[in-house]
Amino acid sequence: MIKGPKLLVVATGNPGKLREMQLYLADLDLELRLKPDEIEVEETGTTFMENACLKASKVALATGEWALADDSGLQVDALKGAPGIYSARYGSTDSERIQRLLQELGNETNRGAQFVCALALSCPDGSIALQVEATCRGEILHSPRGSNGFGYDPIFYVPEKKLTFAEMTPETKSLVSHRGKAFQALLPQLKQLQAQA
């Protein structure tokens, strides 16, 4: 019988992402740890889920531990889904990425967009145990608002909350965001896995 995870190596070097994940998984008896810097995973997948699976599997094999990977990004309707899986590579800093996106959109009136989050959990042997995907619809503002969050959060506006991700408290963001929804879907499955331990 496969033992459920007690420690999860998170396949990211981003402490902001790790903090968010710790918030989502607070109810579980789990220790979360950033992946070692020397493990580099080339994201060669063509979808968020392919990349999440690649990262989880490679980090699990390299560390011999359970690994959780998230691949997420922003898809802008008027840009035919760009930046998509290239969201993190759209510039070298958050402000560069935001600037580039706003320039490409220009005065476009269709500002519809969605954030997508794919989560993959890999067993220590590199096989994928769980995968979930979730989205959050919103609009791209003409200029940044708010100082919380990271990435494209200051220009991603959620109409039903009348706030950008960067204006939300972490608690509100975790309820409505793509990552929050993905973790809500993952939690019961993770609990079941742990119960097998």
Catalytically active residues, by annotation: 71
Element (H, E) at 163: strand 163-164
* Closest to 183 (Cα-Cα) out of 81, 52, 54, 60: 52
Rounded Cα–Cα distance for residues 144 and 157 (Å): 10
Would you say 157 and 141 are in contact if contact means Cβ atoms under 8 Å apart? yes
Rounded Cα–Cα distance for residues 21 and 121 (Å): 13
Distances in Å between the Cα of 136 and the Cα atoms of 11, 74, 103, 116, 174 are: 22, 10, 23, 7, 11
